[in-house]
């Protein structure tokens, strides 16, 4: 007697279909692996690849020379208005944000929606979007619209390989990611390294 296996096919395909569903529209897929180009360039600068983000805001363009490390291995970049000269400053660092964190040094702190905080004070305002293990903060000058700030912060995303090539400088040939503090060559080999003030009279 020949047995049919057709009824088993839906059961075998179900895990594959669930895996391919992905995230809902509008959500950031924090589990996506960074592009190889991004990994290489970010690590050469001492930036964790998963902390590199890009934003899109009407009328603002990236100031590429502003791209760099923030904190230990975080990421920072500045976007400048082509017409007004106002700035959007993007910071991504490890950690999270609570109501007490949000209120530190600020005049206003509001929970805009789950995981999205708005705060203002000292002539600037910002949105902080809590991700898995890190926080994306977008700070704007006072003249930047709150709506522009909100949309740009909420839609911040990881760059593609092509975008990474525009965002980050290329890694020098044979370079590797730093594994510890960089040794300075301009400090004395002994002592605490403080400047010498024992110059005789007359200099």
d(CA 47, CA 33): 15
Closest CA to 132 of 159, 181, 94, 178: 94
Task: Give the model confidence (pLDDT) of 49-96 as tens digits.
Answer: 999 999 999 999 999 999 999 999 999 999 999 888 999 999 999 999
Q: Is the pTM of this model over 0.75?
A: no
- Domains, the chain: 54-153 (3.40.1000.20)
Mean pLDDT of the chain: 78
Task: State the sign of the Cα–Cα–Cα–Cα dihedral 95, 98, 100, 102.
Answer: positive
b/e map 123-135, b = 16+ CB within 10 Å: eebbbbbbbeebb
């Amino acid at each position: 007697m020949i047995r049919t296996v057709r009824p088993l096919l839906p059961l075998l395909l179900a895990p594959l279909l669930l895996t391919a569903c992905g995230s809902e529209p509008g959500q950031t897929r924090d589990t996506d692996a960074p592009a190889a180009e991004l990994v290489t360039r970010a690590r050469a600068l001492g930036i964790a690849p998963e902390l590199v983000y890009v934003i899109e805001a009407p009328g603002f363009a990236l100031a590429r020379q502003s791209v760099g490390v923030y904190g230990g291995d975080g990421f920072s970049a500045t976007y400048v208005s082509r017409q007004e000269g106002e700035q959007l400053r993007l910071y991504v660092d490890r950690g999270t944000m609570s109501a007490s964190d949000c209120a530190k040094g600020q005049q206003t702190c509001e929970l805009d929606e789950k995981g999205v905080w708005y705060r203002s004070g000292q002539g600037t305002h910002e949105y902080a979007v809590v991700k898995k293990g890190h926080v994306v903060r977008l700070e704007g000058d006072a003249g930047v619209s709150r709506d522009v700030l909100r949309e740009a912060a909420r839609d911040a995303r990881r760059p593609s390989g092509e975008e990474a090539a525009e965002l980050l400088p290329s890694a020098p040939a044979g370079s590797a990611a730093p594994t510890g503090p960089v040794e300075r060559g301009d400090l004395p080999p002994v002592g605490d390294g403080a400047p010498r003030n024992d110059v005789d009279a007359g200099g």
